[in-house]
A and B are shown apart, each in its own frame.
Chain A
Amino acid sequence: MRRPLLTCVAALALLLTGCTTGSEGPDDGVVRLRFQSLAWQQESVDANRELVKEWNATHPDVQVDYVQGSWDSVHDQLLTSFEGGEAPDIIHDASDDLADFAYGGDLADLRPLLSARLRADIPARSWETTTFGEGVYGVPFLQEPRVIIANRRILESSGVRVPTPEKPWSWTEFRQITQDLTRSMGPGRYAVAWPLKEPVSVSLNLGLSAGGQLFHRESDGRVTVRFTEADAVVPGTVHDQVVTDRTAPRTTLGSGGSDTLPGLFAGKYAMVPLGFAYRQQIAQQAPKGFEWTVLPAPAGSAGLTQGVSPQTLSIAESSPHKKEAAAFLDFFLRPGNMVRLARGDWMLPTGTAALADPALHTARDGWATGAAVAEKLSPAPAQSVRGYPEWKDKVATPAFQEFYSGAIDTAELRRRLVEDGNRVLARYQRR
């Protein structure tokens, strides 16, 4: 019996020796920055890695370590890292996830750190997405409008007017066209499929085009929810397409965007409203001969305006090397580099100079449509509202899901969003 016991102890010792302890790096005078990136598509990861490599090659005194994070769990991971004082120096995230970290003092105010070039290159409306109180807590660098990906053959053969960014469909026209299209496509097929696994962001962001705002900041700084006629336009259109017109299938309401692609490829749906970056999946997965096109989302009284939560780069307040981190951001987000990052992620850059790059204005893969929409992108309505995540999860998501499936009417949707919603927000705004 003694021999197996000794063997076990020895094996354990070996195993634990194999797990080496972490170190802070050699004390060689070189500043080491940890950059946690959420890039995940291979082209995007490659672009990020190449830029880090280029920086490291030209800055021997400030070396950047690239660490890949995950969108799936970034909030909890950052929360723990901030609490434990072990946060990465440079943090990739989305602007709608920053509010709590910014107000909590975890992120550095970038105003004294960023170069004038970078500040001037990114439009004010994009900076608004990362401005909380008086400070700026992230550099918005990539953004993704919602567009309509359409089966070109079905659309063109039906004879309906094909919209352009200059002459988009109105929401009323969109509803009419989906009726005509569904009729011409035949039974079992639908003009549009709405993947509404995340119904709140879709409803709010597209709702801006019709003048919907939902969240209103009062003179005392408090935010309240109001559901006006303008707020009802987009949800009403989707509801009517699913419940009244039957031009959109009920089955996709609980789906993510990827789940609707097989139906699009098979001609079951003529159009699917999706994020701009989904084009990468379509280019990769579409069967040979599938012709697709990118259309702008319908416009309302506010034109093509829609809300976005850009991807951001922030610096941890606890980082001892904020200036060096800001210098890296300045390099990383030079116009040429921003174009490389945007192309890698199939998204649009926020920087004016990068957005003017001809590579992003080609008709191929719908780049031109997205670039044309870019100047109409605004901060998502709930961008800086404290308590928004709880409002979204507990009140708005179930309310919108029930509304879109026809289980409740507009009055009940309004009551829940406003009455229940304001009760939630009030808890976050007590003084």
Chain B
Amino acid sequence: MSVLRTSGPARAGQYLALLAYLVFLAFPFLWLISTAFKPAPELASLHPTWIPKDPTLDNFRQAFGEQPLLRAAANSLVAAVAAALIAVAVATPLAYVTARHRGRLASAATGWVVISQAFPFVLVIIPLFLILKNLHLINSGPGLVLVYVVWSLPFALWMLMGYVRAVPAELEEAAAVDGAGRLRTLVSVTAPLLVPGIVATALFAFVTAWNEFFFALVLLKTPEKQTLPVVLTHFLGAEGVADLGPLAAAAFLATLPSLLVFAVLQRRITGGMLAGAVKS
């Protein structure tokens, strides 16, 4: 096995580029945190500072006082977790079948994935609304979860197909030779190797549902059921005017669950897939 070596300056350049990219990614989040702790006069300063001169929790107090953020966060959490679990539960066997049995089905599935990602929300929302209405699923959590599952399923399937293909078929064949049945092979050999992929896919479905705004806005009618992204828009007025401090405070809180989930599950995702599975 050959190892790709890079020279010192090239490596320094790579690290520099990586650092620049990280700064680019982190900037909006750090600015959000800074804004959330700034008092109103500092928010309106011509010379904004990274670290608030006079940090305050007023924006958080105001945000929680004005809007039911906790209830909205709970609604979002329930919808996002449910959508993620159902999406991986449905997508995993589908992905396995599609990846292992290449042919027209796999091509059709891939085509469906590509096409489904091209539809803008506004195009599908009205027929979807009518269907859900007929099913009495307007203004209901299950209705919203159903939409999120359908919406994230194609991409989840696509992701998982890649993970399934990365599991060598030889492993399953070896298990079969050793006398394991089909189900036993899937449960004891293939499934454990797919765990990082399933976790990554679930994360994708979770984050998609957690951040989703438009479906929640249109499908949920009563304030008690509104999700966090919908409630966040209540800090916005006409023509883009915003109650910036409370909005930043609420938005900061809204990013925390995603970060926590990533932090907790990171090892699951990055932990060497197939580590020790194949002797070289």
A-side residues, CB < 8 A to B, are 1, 8, 11-12, 15-16, 18-22, 34, 38, 40-42, 45, 65-68, 70-73, 76-77, 79-81, 83-86, 88, 94, 197-198, 256-258, 261-263, 265-266, 268, 275, 277-278, 281, 284-288
Q: Is the CB of A16 within 8 A of B126?
A: no
Q: Is B103 located at the chain interface by the 8 A CB criterion?
A: no
Q: Is the CB of B41 within 8 A of A15?
A: no
Q: Is the CB of A72 within 8 A of B126?
A: no
Number of B residues contacting the other chain (C-beta, 8 Å)? 57
Q: With A15-B82, A16-B141, A73-B217 known to touch, is A67 a contact of B238 (CB < 8 Å)?
A: no
How long is the Cα–Cα vector from A21 to B224 in the complex, in angstroms? 12
User: What is the minimal beta-carbon distance from B49 to any residue of chain A, in angstroms?
Assistant: 12
Q: Is B273 located at the chain interface by the 8 A CB criterion?
A: no
Q: Is the CB of B41 within 8 A of A68?
A: no
How long is the Cα–Cα vector from A15 to B76 in the complex, in angstroms? 11
CB-nearest residue of chain B relative to A65? B222
Q: With A73-B217, A84-B130 known to touch, is A15 a contact of B78 (CB < 8 Å)?
A: yes
How long is the Cα–Cα vector from A81 to B138 in the complex, in angstroms? 11
Q: Which of B25-33, B105-113, B227-235, B250-258 contacts A (4 or more CB under 8 A)?
A: B227-235
Q: Is the CB of A198 within 8 A of B140?
A: no
Interface string of B45-72 (1 = CB under 8 A from A): 1111000000000000010001000000
Chain A residue contacts of B122, Cβ below 8 A: 76
Q: With A81-B218, A262-B44 known to touch, is A41 a contact of B243 (CB < 8 Å)?
A: yes
Chain B residue contacts of A41, Cβ below 8 A: 237, 243
Q: Is the CB of A15 within 8 A of B133?
A: no
Q: Is the CB of A67 within 8 A of B223?
A: yes
Chain B residue contacts of A1, Cβ below 8 A: 187-188, 191
Q: With A71-B237, A84-B129 known to touch, is A40 a contact of B243 (CB < 8 Å)?
A: yes
Chain A residue contacts of B48, Cβ below 8 A: 262
User: What is the minimal beta-carbon distance from B228 to any residue of chain A, in angstroms?
Assistant: 13
Q: Is the CB of B44 within 8 A of A261?
A: yes
Q: Is B18 located at the chain interface by the 8 A CB criterion?
A: no
Q: Is the CB of A285 within 8 A of B44?
A: yes
Q: Is the CB of B244 within 8 A of A84?
A: no
How long is the Cα–Cα vector from A258 to B223 in the complex, in angstroms? 28
Q: Is the CB of B222 within 8 A of A67?
A: yes
User: What is the minimal beta-carbon distance from B27 to any residue of chain A, in angstroms?
Assistant: 18
- Could you name 9 residue pairs across A and B whose Cβ atoms are closer than 8 Å? A12-B89, A38-B238, A68-B234, A77-B217, A197-B240, A256-B240, A262-B45, A262-B46, A265-B45
